[in-house]
Amino acid sequence: MNELHFNALVAVEDQNGVFHRAIRQQTLADLPAGEVLIKVKYSSLNYKDALSATGNRGVTKAYPHTPGIDAAGVVVASSNPQWQCGDEVICTGYDLGMNTSGGFGQYIRTPGHWLVKKPVGLSLLEAMQLGTAGFTAALSVLGLQNNGVAPENGMVLVTGATGGVGTIAVMLLRKLGYAVTALTGKMSERQFLLDLGAQAVLDRNEFLGHKDRPLLPARWAGVIDAVGGEVLATAVKGTGFDGVVTSCGNAASGDLPLNVYPFILRGVHLLGIYSANCPMEKRLAVWGKLAQEWKLPEVSSLCRMVTLDELETEIFAMLAGNSKGRCVVDLGDTE
C-alpha cells in the first residue's frame, strides 16, 4: 500500500531561503507515523495555512511540508480500535498541517485521538465549509453565552467580519437572536455583511479614530475578535459593564496595546479562544451543535471551491487581506 501515489501541495525552501509551493506526488511512506490513515475528501484554507505555506517558522518548523490544518475524509486503515475502515471523520487542529503533514494532501495519517466522527446532520463537505473557522466562531459564540451575554444584553461586535471566522460568527449570532455590528476595513462589502445578518456595519478606520483614549463609550455587550492588535484593544475599551470579549486571532498583530481601565472600571472579561487543542468533550459538543440546532445551511453561499492547483492565488489573497468568506479545497480522486 506504501506504493500508492497521491498529490499534495508541498512548501519547499530553496537554497536562497525563498519558499515555493508545488503539487508533488507522494507515497504513504512520506506521511508521518500514526494510528489512522485517512483519505481526505475536502480541506479548507485558514490564515495559519497561508503562514505555513509561505515559510512562517512560528507555525511550521521544518520544510518540505504539506500545510492544511483541516481535513475531512474516510478512514482507510487503522490500528486504533476506535476507528474502522469506512468511518467518516473530521480532523481540525492539534498539530495537523503545522508540523504534521496536513489536509492539502490527499492522504493524512494521525493519532486516533485527533479525530471526530462526522456528526449526523453534516456532510464531509459541510464540515469543511465550516472548518476551523466555523468551529472557532462557534467556540466564540459559546464563550459569550457561557459568560452571560444574552441577546437582550445589547449589541455584539464582530471584527474581521468578512473573513472566515467573522462571516460565520455574524451568521450564527443572528441565527441565535443577537444584534450584530460588523467591523470591516472593506466598506465595499457593506451590503454583503448586511445580507449575512449584521444590523450595522462599521468602518475600521472610523472605529480606530479614538484608539488612544484609555476608555471609550460603552457600546458592546460582547465582542468576537479575530484580528488582535489595536482593533482588539479598541473593542475592549468600548465594551460595557460585565461585557465579554473573545479573542481568537492575530491577523493584524499579536500585540495588545491596552490599559487596565476596562477591566477595573467596567469588569470587562477577556476570553481567549483556542481551537487547536480544544478538549475533546467540548469539541464534540460544538460539532454536534453545528450539525443540529446551530446548523447554517447558508454557509455554502460563503464558500468557493478550489483545487490544489488553485490554492496559490488564495494563499496570497488571504495574506494580503483580500479574501472573503471561506475557501474549501476539493482533494479530488487519488491518482
For the cut 60, the answer to whether the pLDDT of residue 229 exceeds it is yes
Average pLDDT over residues 213-236: 96
Which pLDDT value is given to residue 254? 84
The verdict on residue 81 lying in a domain is yes
325, 167 contact by CB (below 8 A)? yes
Residue 127 lies in a domain: no
Residue 234 has pLDDT above 70, yes or no: yes
pLDDT band at 3 (very low <50, low <70, confident <90, very high): confident
Residue 193 sits at φ, ψ, to 5 deg, of: -70, -35
pLDDT at 324 exceeding the cut of 60 = yes
What is the CA 111 to chain-centroid distance, rounded? 21
What tens digit of pLDDT does each residue of 72-112 get? 999 999 999 999 999 999 999 999 999 999 999 999 999 99
Which pLDDT does position 325 carry in this prediction? 82
Q: Locate 178 and state its grid cell.
A: 443577537
Contact 271, 224 (CB under 8 A): no
Whether 145 and 260 map to the same domain: the answer is yes
Q: Of 100, 96, 89, 92, which Cα lies nearest the Cα of 39?
A: 89
Domain membership flag for residue 214: yes
For 189, how many CA atoms within 13 A lie in the half-sphere containing its CB? 22
Give yes or no: residues 218 and 140 share one domain: yes
| Averaged pLDDT, 310-318 | 93
Residue burial 58-80, b: 16+ Cβ < 10 Å; e: rest: ebbeeebbbbbbbbbbbbbebee
20 plus 103 within the same structural domain: yes
Per-residue confidence at 11, pLDDT binned at 50, 70, 90? Answer: very high
140 and 242 together in one domain? yes
List the CATH number of the domain containing 99: 3.90.180.10
Stretch 115-123: mean pLDDT, rounded?
Answer: 96
Predicted confidence (pLDDT) at residue 1 exceeds the cutoff of 70: no
Q: Nearest to residue 157, comparing CAs of 48, 269, 234?
A: 234
Whole-structure pTM value = 0.92
Q: Give a yes or no: residue 229 inside a domain.
A: yes
Q: Quick one: average pLDDT of 207-220?
A: 94
Same domain, 214 and 96: no
Domain count, the chain: 2
- Do 203 and 261 belong together in one domain? yes
Residues 155 and 264 in one domain: yes
Show contacts of 309-312: CB within 8 Å, 24+ apart. Answer: 309/23, 311/9, 311/21, 311/45, 311/53, 311/104, 312/21
Q: 119 preceded by cis ω (within 30°)?
A: no
Q: What is the mean pLDDT of the chain?
A: 94
pLDDT tens per residue, range 249-299: 887 788 899 999 999 999 999 999 999 999 999 999 999 999 999 999 889
Q: Judge if 155 and 218 occupy the same domain.
A: yes
pLDDT at 56: 92
Which residues span the domain enclosing 101? 5-118+298-330
Nearest-angstrom CA–CA distance, 10 and 91: 19
Please determine, for residue 334, whether its predicted confidence score (pLDDT) is greater than 70.
Answer: no
Q: What was the pLDDT predicted at 109?
A: 97
Does some domain include residue 293? no
Residue 2 has pLDDT above 60, yes or no: no
140 and 262 part of one domain: yes
> Does residue 257 share a domain with residue 205?
yes
Can you list the pairs that 203-206 forms with residues at least 24 positions away whose Cβ atoms lie under 8 Å? 204/231
| Nearest CA-CA partner of 102 in 9, 216, 195, 226 | 9
Whether the per-residue pLDDT at 329 is higher than 90: the answer is yes
Q: What is the pLDDT of residues 138-161, one digit of tens each?
A: 999 999 999 999 999 999 999 999
Quick one: pLDDT at residue 8? 96
pLDDT at residue 240 in the model: 97
Q: What is the mean pLDDT of residues 197-217?
A: 94
* CATH code of 207's domain: 3.40.50.720
CB 239, CB 218: distance < 8 Å: yes
C-alpha of 266 from chain center: 30
In-domain check, residue 105: yes
Residue 51 has pLDDT above 90, yes or no: yes
Which among 145, 147, 111, 126 has a CA at the least distance from the CA of 32? 111
- Residue 289 within a domain: no
> Which amino acid belongs to residue 151?
P
Q: Is the residue at 63 inside a domain?
A: yes
The last residue of a domain, from among 238, 272, 306:
272
